[in-house]
């Protein structure tokens, strides 16, 4: 029982990170219809920015995450302007190829600039907390609470503010959005900024548990794509539920079946869902 | 006023509009008649910036708006309830209407007033204000589309077949609302399948066939024209 609860907490922490990263990806897909394969690379850069803010400038961890989110928001806008905006009327395959290009560019860039060694990110939250007899690492609690906080903030932004509503409007009817005077360009940039910032926050939260290295985004890339396909492309609840579902499946299969199996389970899960419901769990039947 | 001069639109090899000219003067309600595929929707979508013209000019209140993107055309004062409605199906009626006022989003008092006016025009929308727009009936969705266009506080309202697919009673209700809107001083450019009903409320009209204006005239001229009667009124 104790093992079960311990692993449950681990799964929730992992799921929080998956959900945050998947939310960014699903937002970009919903607004721009771009499968942004460079998302994992933005996630990786986000981890490095936090790492250097912490180690080179001694900036406190939480502030460093905020800086990383801001820097990545800017990088997201630049990528949208430089790469995806010029392709906006091109066939979808071009978006895909361009995204892979950005992924390789950022990954190689990181390798050249910072080397390929694995770096350990120091976090001030190194203690262990005893909750109802369970020993939980402080960092995991930080991951869970920070993720929930960011998700609630994102939800309020999308539902309660005018800029957030423009994102929903474009997702639901692009022509309708332009007919009420919404500038799709502005919304595209804003969406990329939010998406990259979410990736940076997710990466910075999980980095002290895992490690920072140039290809850290690759495995995540596969997983977040599995998550948003599972949840329904463009769906926000789908990204959250999908993120937690994948984390639960991974953690418990490695605990009770085999460690070797845990990376594969997510994709097995995905195959089953796609066989039963090809449009994903939360799709609108489109 | 709106002035369209010698407007042509091409889809590849196909000439969808050929040298169309048309005006809407201050305070006017102008109707465009034509069969399905005659080019009415293409004309409206081009005025609204959803389609780029191949040649020709569109002037609106002293501004050259031809070829501008749709969001810039709305800014110039032209709102459209387009064919297919293009509502935001999962957002509430209230949010759909509020987004209609996107360009004057800082004018909170003005938006509140416009909302009240929209509800006054279509009382059912007030009852349904918290329902997702996609869950409404066709007629109610049409009212949301017209209401949303009005929320932009346009000088010119373009309505593409607002009564399409509606029950006769609901359709009359929508057309009555169009008259009310026009009476407040908003120019209206209307496309309508029901030629008789449309001419009854219009000041002037144009007949479009195969992407060309083949006839233009006042309400009475068109009503008395034999071709119009035969082709569009079945008499």
Mean pLDDT of chain B: 93
Once rounded to an integer, what is the mean pLDDT over residues B112-120?
95
Name the more confident of B165 and A225: A225
pLDDT of residue A286: 42
Name the more confident of B168 and B103: B103
**Res. B35 pLDDT band, cuts 50 70 90:** confident
Tokens 């332009």 sit on residue: A178
Alpha-carbon distance of A228 to A195, in angstroms, equals 14
Alpha-carbon distance of A99 to A259, in angstroms, equals 32
**Res. A284 pLDDT band, cuts 50 70 90:** low
Once rounded to an integer, what is the mean pLDDT over residues B64-72?
93
Q: Does the CB of A179 have a partner CB in chain B at under 8 Å?
A: yes
Once rounded to an integer, what is the mean pLDDT over residues A227-250?
91
Q: With a cut of 90, say whether residue A39 has pLDDT above it.
A: yes
Once rounded to an integer, what is the mean pLDDT over residues B148-164?
93
Q: With a cut of 80, say whether residue A119 has pLDDT above it.
A: yes
pLDDT tens per residue, range B165-193 = 788 888 888 899 999 999 999 999 999 87
CA angle in degrees (0–180, nearest 5) for B205-B206-B208? 150
Q: With a cut of 50, say whether residue B10 has pLDDT above it.
A: yes
Once rounded to an integer, what is the mean pLDDT over residues A215-232?
90
Q: With a cut of 50, say whether residue A285 has pLDDT above it.
A: no
- For residue A284, the chain B residues in CB contact (below 8 A) are 90
Question: Torsion-angle region of residue A168: left (phi > 0), alpha (psi -120 to 50) or beta?
Answer: alpha
What are the structural domains of chain B?
2-233 (3.40.50.300)
Q: If we measure between CA atoms, which residue out of B201, B156, B138, B155 comes closest to residue B175?
A: B201
Alpha-carbon distance of B104 to A216, in angstroms, equals 45
Answer whether B99 sits within 8 Å of A165, measured CB to CB. Answer: yes
Q: Mutate which of A169, A179, A188 to disrupt the B interface (most B C-beta within 10 Å)? A: A179
**Side-chain half-sphere CA neighbours of B120 within 13 A:** 10
Computed on alpha carbons and rounded to an integer, the radius of gyration of chain B in Å comes to 17
Alpha-carbon distance of B233 to B223, in angstroms, equals 9
**Res. A212 pLDDT band, cuts 50 70 90:** very high
Provide the 10 A C-beta neighbour count for residue A272.
Answer: 11
Tokens of A28: 């970009």
CA pseudo-torsion sign A96, A99, A101, A104? negative
- The partner residues of B79 in beta bridges, in order of sequence, read B157
Percent of chain A surpassing pLDDT 70: 99
Q: Residue B88 is nearest to which of A172, A178, A184, comparing CB atoms?
A: A172
Q: With a cut of 90, say whether residue A276 has pLDDT above it.
A: no
For B30, counting Cβ atoms within 10 Å of its Cβ (0-12 exposed, 13-18 middle, 19+ buried), the class is buried
Answer whether A175 sits within 8 Å of B99, measured CB to CB. Answer: no
pLDDT of residue A206: 93
For A153, counting Cβ atoms within 10 Å of its Cβ (0-12 exposed, 13-18 middle, 19+ buried), the class is exposed
CA angle in degrees (0–180, nearest 5) for A172-A97-A185? 40
**Res. B235 pLDDT band, cuts 50 70 90:** low
Percent of chain B surpassing pLDDT 70: 100
Alpha-carbon distance of A102 to B156, in angstroms, equals 45
CA distance A189 to chain B (A): 16
Tokens of B217: 């005239």
Q: Does the CB of A79 have a partner CB in chain B at under 8 Å?
A: no
Q: With a cut of 60, say whether residue B14 has pLDDT above it.
A: yes
Question: What is the Cα A272 distance to its own chain's centre?
Answer: 23
């Amino acid at each position: 029982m104790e093992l079960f609860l311990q692993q449950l907490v681990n799964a929730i922490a992992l799921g929080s990170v998956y959900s945050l990263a998947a939310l960014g990806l699903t937002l970009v897909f919903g607004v721009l219809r771009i499968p942004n394969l460079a998302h994992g690379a933005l996630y990786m850069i986000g981890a490095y920015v936090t790492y250097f803010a912490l180690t080179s400038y001694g900036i406190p961890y939480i502030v460093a995450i905020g800086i990383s989110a801001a820097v990545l928001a800017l990088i997201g806008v630049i990528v949208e302007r430089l790469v995806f905006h010029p392709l906006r009327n091109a066939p979808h395959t071009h978006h895909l190829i361009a995204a892979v290009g950005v992924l390789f560019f950022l990954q190689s860039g990181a390798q050249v600039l910072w080397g390929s060694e694995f770096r350990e990110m120091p976090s001030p939250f190194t203690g262990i907390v005893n909750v109802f007899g369970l020993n939980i690492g402080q960092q995991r609690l930080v991951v869970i609470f920070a993720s929930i906080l960011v998700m609630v903030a994102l939800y309020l932004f999308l539902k309660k503010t005018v800029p957030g509503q423009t994102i929903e409007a474009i997702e639901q009817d692009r022509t309708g959005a332009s007919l009420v005077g919404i500038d799709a360009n502005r919304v595209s940039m804003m969406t990329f900024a939010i998406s990259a910032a979410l990736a940076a926050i997710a990466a910075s939260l999980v980095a002290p548990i895992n490690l920072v290295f140039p290809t850290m985004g690759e495995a995540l890339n596969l997983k977040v794509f599995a998550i948003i396909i599972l949840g329904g492309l463009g769906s926000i609840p789908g990204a959250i539920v999908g993120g937690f579902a994948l984390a639960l499946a991974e953690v418990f299969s490695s605990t009770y079946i085999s460690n070797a199996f845990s990376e594969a389970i997510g994709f097995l899960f995905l195959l089953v869902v796609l066989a039963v419901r090809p449009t994903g769990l939360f799709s609108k039947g489109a | 006023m709106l002035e369209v001069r010698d407007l042509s639109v091409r889809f590849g090899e196909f000439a969808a509009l050929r040298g169309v000219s048309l005006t809407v003067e201050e305070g006017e309600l102008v109707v465009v008649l034509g069969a399905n595929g005659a080019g009415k929707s293409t004309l409206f979508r081009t005025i609204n910036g959803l389609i780029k013209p191949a040649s020709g000019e569109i002037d609106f209140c002293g501004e050259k708006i031809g070829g501008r993107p749709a969001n810039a055309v709305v800014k110039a004062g032209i709102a459209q309830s387009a064919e297919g409605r293009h509502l935001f199906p999962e957002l509430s009626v209230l949010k759909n209407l509020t987004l209609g006022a996107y360009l004057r989003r800082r004018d909170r008092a003005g938006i509140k007033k416009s909302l009240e006016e929209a509800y006054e025009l279509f009382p059912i929308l007030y009852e349904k204000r918290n329902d997702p727009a996609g869950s409404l009936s066709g007629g109610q969705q049409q009212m949301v589309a017209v209401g949303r266009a009005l929320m932009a506080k346009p000088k010119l309202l373009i309505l593409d077949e607002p009564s399409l697919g509606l029950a006769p009673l609901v359709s009359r209700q929508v057309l009555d609302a169009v008259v009310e809107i026009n009476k407040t001083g908003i120019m209206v450019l209307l496309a309508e399948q029901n030629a008789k009903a449309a001419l009854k409320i219009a000041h002037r009209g144009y007949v479009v066939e195969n992407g060309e204006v083949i006839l233009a005239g006042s309400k009475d001229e068109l009503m008395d024209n034999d071709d119009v009667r035969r082709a569009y009124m079945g008499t």
